[in-house]
Structure 1
Amino acid sequence: MGGQRADHDVRVAVVGAGYMGGGIAQSFAARGIDCVVVDETAQRSRERVRQLHEEADEFAADGLIPEARADAVRAHLRAAESLEAALAGVSYVAEVVPERIEVKRTVLERISSSVGPEVVIGTNTSAIPIGELATSVTAPERFLGVHWMNPAPFVPSVEVIPGARTSPSVVEDVVGFLRGIGKVPTVVGDSPGFVANRLQYALFREAARLVEDGVADPAQVDEVVRNSFGFRLPFFGPFAIADIAGLDVYRDGFTTLESAYGDRIGTPRMLVDQVERGRHGLKTGQGFYEFADGVGADVARYRDRAYAGLDRLRAELGQVDLVERRDQLR
């Protein structure tokens, strides 16, 4: 495993062929990597592979992926008759069973007892700390979290989460392997929810509070998010957005929010420290990022081009109409 290109000598087993597991399997096979899928029964495994082949053809027909990648899915993705058959001769195992810790522990025990200690095992978990799963794996130095995002064939991010005993070389190999199939792997710490879901769930919690408090209904919340800070997120993360807006502005905004909501939306100490040091972001040339020597002007130009381009893309794609279930809000 490893490198910046897809390693075609790697053979992958995906254990769990649901929506996420199927998308992960397609992602490997589309890049020419032999991938075997196994689910609860042999019949279910065969049926899912048939569906995944057909879905890849539909992606190609809709212009979402090249024809060659759909052909690669058909050529490189197959079903296994059993877990043991799926694991024979593989060098990487993706465990993608349901997000229930006891289910994952049982499956991980079976996987690790069926493969050699050199076989890398990655668990796809949305929130369960890797340390809580590592106890089920023999040779935990080859075990880590590999958290994909839905839909797996199209969303670039994959969080890579080493456990306390994961070998650094395994982390390096997995990161290189994922880059080789076109993903954007980011190594993060082992904490419940990791980065993506800790942020995503915090946003949803506050969105739900807005509805519960009568400030807005779900459609209004979604409309505001899509057309305000959500519009920026394809290009900049929260720290870059704060730098561009002005950290002093953020500090003042937090003062109001903290007075209303207390520690629930309290002012971060790291933000106060930046402002007290005169680092207000793009406007002063320093914040969480550095903007000196013309970088700030380049960022501002890129921002404007990016936002204008996204506005045109949204107009081209149009909007999906969702019908709000108001009876569910009572």
Structure 2
Amino acid sequence: MISRVAVVGSGYMGGGIAQVIALSGRDVVIADVSAEVTEANRERLRKEAHDFEERRLFPPGAAEAVRERITAAASIEEAVAEVDLVEEAVPEIVEIKHDTLRRIAAAARPETLIGSNTSTISIAVLAEALPDARRFLGIHFSNPATFIPGVEVIPHAGTDPDAVRQVVELLDDCGKTGVTITDVTGFVLNRLQYALFSEAARLVEEGVASAESVDRIARTTFGFRLPFFGPFAIADIAGLDVYDFCYRSLGAEYPERFAAPDILTERVAEGALGVKSGRGFLATSPERTAELVAYRDRAYAAMTALLAEIGPAPVDY
């Protein structure tokens, strides 16, 4: 069981991770490039937690929990010496991460789990720095770590499965959703995020729409669905035959960008068309259509009300 954690790299991401773990009732030790930087970041985290609690973004007692449970170490070695898990959150540069991971591995107990918050670097590449990589895996929080629920959990080929289990359980205790995926460069989150941005940028480059218009359409159409349904659920609801037709239309105009994925055309050929056929990428039956539509309508109405309550984002175009 993971009961005591160190976070190496106490900046914005690392600090947020430390707060999340502290609020789960665990002690957290933070460390950074110097004792002075670490202490300054601990003070920032205390003030931030107090502000979040006053704004009701953190629950009552959160500021006190952060104050009591997050301590500052004088060095990386001191921070990791007596913990069950170390989360590395230093800059996204392989050499810096390798050097930091070597220091962590040399100073931590042999059984201590080591995670990296890398957002794109293959975990196998980072594992090269460790003499025993069985206890190493990716634990990728999203920005801001305090409020985004999903966390990518990324074992490499040599990671001990029990390490994955312990980390997923920890994340569950922290109120996070740990999702285990295969180790590839960029993982899932950033491959999806950057694929979307690439097409958005092309639309602006081609003069199809302004950046403001693209953002507005993304937020108010397909993006409006994403808090409730992922891309495969959305496709199943729409109908995979509809998706196949749209891919053929797009592919005729943009063949280098919109070839239908084999996994889609194979399902359509088999008659697996989504909810209407009872099987697609998921297995939602037609009998649940009324329930699904009722949930969708309730969810979208609630999102509309929330957006009206909090108002537009303070973004200038």
Q: Please report the TM-score for the alignment, with normalisation by the length of structure 1.
A: 0.94
Superposition pairs of residues 43-192 of structure 1, within 5 angstroms: 43-192=36-185
Following TM superposition, by how much is the alpha carbon of 1:270 offset from its aligned partner in structure 2, in angstroms? 1.1
Following TM superposition, by how much is the alpha carbon of 1:266 offset from its aligned partner in structure 2, in angstroms? 1.1
Q: Does 1:204 align with 2:197?
A: yes
Counterpart for residue 4 of structure 1: none
**Which of residues 209, 233, 240 in structure 2 aligns to 1:240?**
233
Following TM superposition, by how much is the alpha carbon of 1:293 offset from its aligned partner in structure 2, in angstroms? 6.4
Where structure 1 has 5 or more consecutive residues not aligned to the other structure, the ranges are 2-6, 325-330
CA contact (8 A) 2:87 2:117 kept: yes
Q: Does 1:17 align with 2:24?
A: no
Structure possessing the higher relative contact order (Cα contacts under 8 Å, 6 or more residues apart): 1
Q: Distance in 1 between matches of 2:54 and 2:314?
A: 24
**Which of residues 213, 217, 235 in structure 1 aligns to 2:210?**
217
Deviations 1:265-307, CA, capped at 9 Å, x for gaps: 2111111111111221122222111222622322221111111
Letter in 2 for 1:259: A
Q: Distance in 1 between matches of 2:307 and 2:293?
A: 21
Q: Secondary structure of the residue that 2:82 maps to in structure 1?
A: coil
Superposition pairs of residues 240-259 of structure 1, within 5 angstroms: 240-259=233-252
Q: Does 1:36 align with 2:33?
A: no
Letter in 1 for 2:208: V
The CA RMSD measured in Å over matched residues stands at: 1.1
Q: Does 1:193 align with 2:189?
A: no
**Which of residues 289, 292, 299 in structure 1 aligns to 2:282?**
289
Letter in 1 for 2:106: S
Where structure 2 has 5 or more consecutive residues not aligned to the other structure, the ranges are none
CA contact (8 A) 1:285 1:296 kept: no
CA contact (8 A) 1:16 1:95 kept: yes
Following TM superposition, by how much is the alpha carbon of 1:170 offset from its aligned partner in structure 2, in angstroms? 0.8
Moved over 3 A (4+): none
Letter in 2 for 1:255: R
Counterpart for residue 328 of structure 1: none
Letter in 1 for 2:276: K
Letter in 2 for 1:11: R
Letter in 1 for 2:213: Q
CA contact (8 A) 1:31 1:72 kept: no
Q: Distance in 2 between matches of 1:299 and 1:71?
A: 42
Following TM superposition, by how much is the alpha carbon of 1:65 offset from its aligned partner in structure 2, in angstroms? 1.1
Q: Distance in 1 between matches of 2:256 and 2:239?
A: 22
Q: Please report the TM-score for the alignment, with normalisation by the length of structure 2.
A: 0.98
Q: Secondary structure of the residue that 2:256 maps to in structure 1?
A: helix
**Identity over the aligned pairs, expressed in percent?**
49
Q: Distance in 2 between matches of 1:310 and 1:162?
A: 35
CA contact (8 A) 1:108 1:137 kept: yes
